[in-house]
Amino acid sequence: MDTLKAIETRRSIRSYRPDPIEPEKMEAILKAMRLSPCACNRQDWKFFIVTDRKAIDLIAERTRFTPALVKSAPALLLAAGWRDKIMPSGHSWSTVDLTIAMTVGVLAATDLGLGTCIIGSHREEDVRKALDLPDDWQIPLIATLGYADKEPGPRPLKDFEEVAEIR
């Protein structure tokens, strides 16, 4: 699959088959994330695919709005990094870098036939605890990961002219 096809076909999957994910696919996703662009090529991050049911359930129980979705997934995809400096734009270097890496991971998963749903309603401190990470790490997003239990339909999109322009 080419990149544009992965972008076009990616959907937020909210229901998964219980099938385990092949280790080579998990490794391919993590390798793709490692290649993500980041500020000054600092690479101040660590990527995880969590398959431990106890850790997934702990994270799910402390996720606002979507606990059932998180529990339904056979795995979670995470990007973590140190809290750090603010860029001149007013945004944290780490938040921007980790968001880019998660986007790369989600597109890699799509390319490999896996579904994802990015979530930002988790309690970061509980995710850190589940992964035994220090308090100075941030985890701005998590994503569910697995095989969709049904083919997602088309998603409604605003007209191109409403959301994009060339100046």
In a domain, 164, yes or no: no
Q: What angle do CA 15, 101, 61 make, to 5 degrees?
A: 40
Rounded to the nearest 5 percent, the helix, strand and coil shares of the chain are 40, 20, 40
Give how many domains the chain has, as a whole number. 1
In a domain, 162, yes or no: no
pLDDT in tens, 124-161: 998 998 888 999 899 999 999 999 999 888 889 999 99
In a domain, 157, yes or no: no
Report the greatest alpha carbon distance in the chain.
50
pLDDT at 149: 95
Where do the DSSP E strands lie in the chain?
Answer: 45-50, 75-82, 115-119, 137-138, 142-146
pLDDT at 1: 64
pLDDT at 25: 98
* CA pair distance 138, 80, nearest whole angstrom: 6
Average pLDDT of the residues of the chain: 93
In a domain, 156, yes or no: no
* CA pair distance 60, 53, nearest whole angstrom: 10
In a domain, 159, yes or no: no
In a domain, 161, yes or no: no
Give me the domain span that covers residue 59: 3-149
* pTM of the shown model: 0.93
In a domain, 33, yes or no: yes
